[in-house]
A and B are shown apart, each in its own frame.
Chain A
Amino acid sequence: MDTMLRKDAFVSVICPARNAGPELAARLDALSGVLNSNFQYYEIIVIDNASTDETAARMKTILSEYKNIQYCALSVQVSDTAAYAVGLCRAIGDFIVTMDITSDPPDRLTDLLALAAGGAEIVYGLPSDRIKGATIYDRAARLFLKTIARFNNVDIPAAMSTYRVFSRSVLNYILESLDHHRTLALAPALSGYSYKSLEYDRLCAGNSDARRRIGFKSTLRALDLLFSTSVRPLRLVTVFAVGMSVLSVAYAAYVVITRLLMENVASGWATLSLQVSILFFFISIVLAVMCEYLLQILETSTRRPVYHVARELHSSTLDYEQDLNVRDAEGKTAESAARQS
């Protein structure tokens, strides 16, 4: 890596831990070593997601041995993304790193940060097994992320993990929306800033492997992300409802025509059918209108930024010729001399 982060850049590393086991100390030692030798200013924020093992006791020893570590223990278990969000709200750095302390290698941190130093506001780590599609889960996750990215009209590498770096401006964007704890997987991308990615090998993970499996929990996680990032499903319902109402009108017309033209229509069929189709027409209209209002309420209540100003520049022209009373040796005004140089 050619570019390196300024040594005085401040790096915040956020690592949630739930029952991280005895390796926690070794992993934090490695992480702390990397940060300490590369940066003057950094902090490590460990979020204990209501561990039931000896994490708290282990952390106590770790805190007395390593500097710049902040430890927050949550009282009840929350989702992984919510645990990250706890750290995001506390991070004070210029660059924010999120990592799974049990499986993301600390020694690749400098490479990720070097990419960030090169101008990328977001850097995604791509685990090599996810790229290869080693397990069904990996392939499913990639497919899901690709779909959801298309839904949201954002550009992400489908193989990304939670090993990421982003700048303070991205963090500010993320924290603007109230539901950032749900949308975190996609939140940096939603900001629209440019990204780079880096392939890395996962460390052999202890219990975090268990989370990477297709099952009830991962399905719920996926649904949660789908419905929290995008309002497309709701839009779909509107479209569907409008379609239904059109069909109902068409059916009503069919019933009337049949009743008028056909001879042997069973008595009561036309009345019953008309009744049903008119009812369906109204229900569909009500559904469509309510969906549209719900959309607006969602947008307001999550306070997701409607727009985000990435950069602001102002015109630097002068609206009048400034004639300064200073002349240099050649008789030109200092102003015009400055403009030539």
Chain B
Amino acid sequence: MNKNYDVAIIGGGFYGCAIALHLSQTCGRVTIFEAESDLLQRASYVNQARVHTGYHYPRSLQTAASSGKNLLLFKDLYDECIDASFIALYAIARSGSKVTAGYFSRFCRQLGLPIRPVRKQLRGLFSPRLIEDVFECEKYAFDAAALKRVMKRRLNEAGVDIQLNTRAKTIAKHNGGGAVVLVETADCEVPVRADWVYNTTYANLNRLGGLDQKKQVGLRHQITEVCLIEPPAALANVGVTVMDGPFFSTMPFPARNRHSLTHVRYTPHFTWHEREDASLSPDQVLAKYSKNSRYEWMLRDARRYLPVLDEARFAETLFEIKTTLTDTEIDDARPIAFHRDLDNPHVISVLGGKIDNIFDVLKVIDAAHKVKAA
């Protein structure tokens, strides 16, 4: 055994890094294994860059309420990664929306979310026939590139050992307590022992060998496409979300200094439920996928509601896997999965959700570690 850690974290996305940072305060030696050549490369980077304020979940009060609470914590910790310079608009579609404008504004007031009627020149951008009402809200985007810089700096300061290009293959029980992770680098395979192992590989959560297969979390994967556009001048400083149904959203994507364009109907390319005997890992499915952009569909639908989008220019498109628990499809709630291995309670799988919900996970982790200490 040539290496020994208190905590080993598999997967250097935002959740993995945040957990590493948190545990480094109490647990001694912490390491992160990241298969990519840098941290925060995958789903932490390719998403709508939203910091949720709760407006987005009018049908799940609990998610909305916890979003509002977590936002404050997130703003506190990652202030330098947050872009609050744009006007966030929520537009309620007249037909096909699951909420009405009246319900939406009542809901926001009930939760104490700031909401104002939209200024006139911005209302004029929307089709009056298709949009019932528009509200100005307080919402933020995060800069994934800045978040990566901040994370790296803090991890280095905390003395966390970051091992890039290192893929964890299996986890085995260790007789002296804790677990052994077999990691693979470019040239060799090394077993690493750790007291606690966190599996934060998101889409590939179930692909790690050695976990109790039968009791794993049910995962639902989705190949999603986020288009990046050069926004028309009128929207340069504006983020728009049309609620609440098969509509679209276009918001600043600070990491590339562009706008993202996503559409409820066209962003998800296809969905599958992970079976235990699946021959391809989600990453392999993504690599094999044809990746034909649906930009034309998204834009054409979006510009019916927001004709000014006609002047948008296509820049590039990003494909990524979005993974959720199988039982959250009914409403918008996306609780975070926290799963302790039955054979080995020191091996914990965490399925990340929205980026600002990390604090709920940290609380649960603290509780898990405290039980052990007592």
Chain A interfacial positions (CB closer than 8 Å to B): 8, 10, 40-41, 43, 68, 70, 89, 92-94, 175-176
Contact = CB atoms under 8 A, between A and B. Distances in A.
B95 A92 contact: no
Contacts, number: 18
A92 B297 contact: yes
A10 B304 CA distance: 14
Nearest to B298: A92
A262 B129 CA distance: 69
A41 B129 contact: no
Contact of B296 (A41, A70, A89, A176): A41
Given A92-B304, A175-B129, A41 B297 contact: yes
A43 B95 contact: no
Contacts of A94: 300
Interface in B296-313: 296-297, 300-301, 304
A10 B129 CA distance: 22
Interface string B192-217: 00000000000000000000000000
Interface string B104-135: 00000000000000000000000001000000
Interface residue tally on B, bucketed by range:
under 10
Interface string B11-48: 00000000000000000000000000000000000000
Contacts of B95: 89
A303 to B, nearest CB: 10
Contacts of B297: 41, 43, 68, 92
The 9 closest A-B CB pairs, nearest first, are: A92-B300, A92-B301, A41-B296, A10-B300, A10-B296, A92-B304, A92-B297, A89-B95, A175-B129
B248 to A, nearest CB: 11
Contact of A93 (B129, B265, B300): B300
Contacts of A89: 95
Given A10-B300, A92-B301, 10 more contacts: A8-B296, A10-B296, A41-B297, A70-B265, A92-B297, A92-B300, A92-B304, A94-B300, A175-B129, A176-B129
Contacts of B265: 70
A89 B300 CA distance: 13
A257 to B, nearest CB: 61
Contacts of A93: 300
Contacts of A175: 129
A68 B301 CA distance: 13
